[in-house]
A = this chain, B = another copy of it.
Amino acid sequence: MDESTASPRMNQYEKGKHTPDVQTLKLIADELDVPLNYFFCESESSAKLACIIDKMTEDEKRVLLEHVSKTKLDIKSE
């Protein structure tokens, strides 16, 4: 992002005057070291999970996916 315009733009986003497009959000996400989907999580816990998942390897994510799928089934069968 061009530094000469970053300040007004960030202010406009924060104050709700304008909304950044996805490309801009990606720059901000990278800067904050969070995944892009972090901004679209609807709960604090989902957002935290998104951050952790983002840092996982594909293998770790696959294992977790199996784990939560089983958990879901267990809950349903109870």
Residue ranges of A at the interface with B (Cβ–Cβ < 8 Å): 19, 21-22, 35-43, 45-46, 48-50, 52-54, 58, 60-62, 64-65, 67-69, 71-72, 75
Contacts and interface: CB of A to CB of B under 8 A. Distances in A.
Given A37-B37, A37-B42, A52-B68, 8 more contacts: A22-B40, A35-B40, A37-B40, A40-B40, A46-B53, A52-B69, A60-B71, A67-B67
B46 A54 contact: yes
A69 B71 CA distance: 17
A65 B48 CA distance: 8
A72 B42 CA distance: 23
Nearest to A36: B40
Given A52-B68, A52-B69, A37 B41 contact: yes
B49 A42 contact: no
